[in-house]
Amino acid sequence: MKKLIAGNWKMNGLAAAAAEIEALGAKLTEADRAKADVLVCPPATLVSVLEPKARAAGIALGGQDCHEKECGAHTGCISAEMLADAGATYVIVGHSERRADFGETDAAVKAKAEAAQRAGLMPIVCVGETRDEREAGRAEAVVRGQLEGSLPEGEFVVAYEPVWAIGTGLVPEEADIAAMHRLMREVAGPGVRLLYGGSVKPANAKAILGLDDVDGALVGGASLKAEDFYGIISAA
């Protein structure tokens, strides 16, 4: 399967960040593009700003969240249709920061994933256990439950992001990543792209991306600078 290397800029980036998209586009070779699809999920305010440069560079754009409804009285929210209209083709749903900060349940995440599909966006559904859950030996049960509760029918991407590995520099043992991806393959089925996320850096990307059933990466901090993000893309 062709890899998907996705950057999640989180709440980082002003209009000047267009320079990073341009710089990344300048580094990408034909061989890179043949091996990996490249996606950047900037803050929603930047999707239409970055769209011309991203299109020219062959880089896809995505949102970081969407509302389940198409429109209406939901102050401050952004619909999947709005993201698509701005030039996005993907949207992340159920990131652990949204699950933790906004109390998003599996059912809410599934509704958002379905909204993404309705708007013609590819949802990237995030799952992952906390440190306590892993230490209690419950990681696989927790992730299985999240998958069963949040995956829609139809087409989607899944990202396994252990909460304790996000932004910490900690990464699970390779055997643990592989085991979780085996489980995700069993639940999600063949043909579904399964990403790993959590402290992916240029230095560890090759080993992680070389594991069975790891079809790409969801990258936070290391996606903000074109040089680091390119280091991960070229490892694919």
Residue nearest ligand PGA, CB atom distance: 220
Closest distance to ligand PGA from the beta carbon of 167 (Å): 4
**Whole-angstrom distance, CA of residue 148 vs CA of residue 72:** 29
Touching ligand PGA, residues 127-186 (CB under 6 A):
161, 166-167
Active site annotation includes 95: yes
Q: Is residue 161 within 8 Å of 197, Cβ to Cβ?
A: yes
Strand partners, 195: 159, 216
Contact track, ligand PGA, 193-232, x by CB under 6 A: ----xxxx-----------------xxxxx----------
Q: How many CB atoms lie within 10 A of CB 159?
A: 27
First to last CA, the chain: 11
Touching ligand PGA, residues 3-32 (CB under 6 A):
8
Closest distance to ligand PGA from the beta carbon of 88 (Å): 17
Q: According to the binding rule CB under 6 A, does residue 49 interact with ligand PGA?
A: no
Question: Which of helix, strand or coil describes residue 88?
Answer: coil
DSSP per-residue codes, 200-224: --HHHHHHHHTSTT--EEEESGGGS
> Which one, 49 or 196, has the nearer CB to ligand PGA?
196
Question: Catalytic residue positions?
Answer: 95, 161
Positions that interact with ligand PGA (CB under 6 A): 8, 161, 166-167, 197-200, 218-222
